[in-house]
Amino acid sequence: MSVTIKTAHEIELMRESGHILEKVHDGLIPYIKPGMSTKELDKIGYDLILSYGCKPNFLNYNGFPGSFCISLNDEVVHGIPSDDKIIQEGDLVKIDAGLIYKGYHSDAARTYAVGEVSPDARLLMEVTKQCFFEGIKAARAGNHLNDISKAIGAHAAKFRFGIVRDLVGHGIGTHLHEDPEIPNFPQKRRGVKLLPGMTLAIEPMINLGRADVAWLDDDWTVVTMDGSLSAHYENTILITDGEPEILTLTK
C-alpha cells in the first residue's frame, strides 16, 4: 500500500474524526481513578464513542477484545481491558483509543498519572509528550519521514530513556494502519517525502529503562523486558503547506 494523500473532503472527515476522539479522551479523564477496572473504563469509552455516532476501530481489530488499549505501568501498549485490572494510586495509565467517523479513522494515546507518582515517572511522561511535539516540528511538507523519526529519537536520547523499537507510528485514513511506518528512532534511509494531505499517527513509546519489550501470553500486551515504567503519547496529524495540524488535539 502506498502512502495516501487525502482530498479536501477526506481531510474534513479526518478532522471531524479526530475532534470526536479528543472529546472521547477528555470524557474518560474523570473515570481514571483508583478502584476503576480497565474493563469499566473500556465500557464507558465504548458508550462515549457510540454516543457520537462513531465506531471503535480497535474492537475486533485482528481479534482485539476491547474498544480501548489500556496499559498500566510496565505495560507499553495493547493492554486488554479486564475486570481484574484495577487502577491504583500511583499507577501510570496509558489509554490508546481510536474511532471511525464516516469511514475515516482517528487514533490517539495519552498517559495519565493516578495521584502521586515518582519524579522519574513524571519526567518520563513529560519527555514522551515532548518527543511527539519535537517530532511534529519536522512534520512539514518537503521534509522526509526520517526527519520526524530523528527528532523524536534525539529528544528521548537526551534523557537516556529506552525508545521502543518494536512498535512504530503509521499512516492513517480509511484504514487504521496505512503506510508509511513511522519509527521513533533514526533510520538509515530518509523515507518518503512528506506531502500536504498525508495523515499520520505519530506515537512515541518510551521506557524509563531499556528499550526491549516482550509480549505476554495473551498475545497482545506489550511489556518492558526489564519491568521499568513506560509512557505513550500519540496524535493523528495532517501534513499541510505550513505547520502540521493536530487532528486529535485542538487545545
C-alpha cell at 40: 469499566
Q: How far is the CB of 96 from Mg ion (least distance, A)?
A: 7
Q: How far is the CB of 34 from Mg ion (least distance, A)?
A: 27
Phi, psi dihedrals of residue 137, rounded to the nearest 5°? -60, -30
Which residues form the interface with Mg ion (CB under 5 A)?
A: 107, 201, 203
| DSSP codes joined into one string, 184-220 | SS--SS--SBP-TT-EEEE--EEESS-S-EEE-TTSS
Q: How far is the CB of 48 from Mg ion (least distance, A)?
A: 19
Which of 15, 170 has the CB closer to Mg ion? Answer: 170
Instruction: Give the torsion sign (CA, 77, 96, 189, 139).
Output: negative
Which of 117, 206 has the CB closer to Mg ion? Answer: 206
Q: How far is the CB of 208 from Mg ion (least distance, A)?
A: 21
Q: How far is the CB of 202 from Mg ion (least distance, A)?
A: 9
Which of 161, 233 has the CB closer to Mg ion? Answer: 233
- Give yes or no for a contact between 107 and 177, defined as CB atoms under 8 angstroms apart: no
* CB-CB neighbours of 71 under 10 Å: 29
| CA angle, residues 110, 113, 119, in degrees to nearest 5 | 120
Which of 107, 147 has the CB closer to Mg ion? Answer: 107
**Among all chains, which residue has been given the C-alpha cell 482485539?**
64
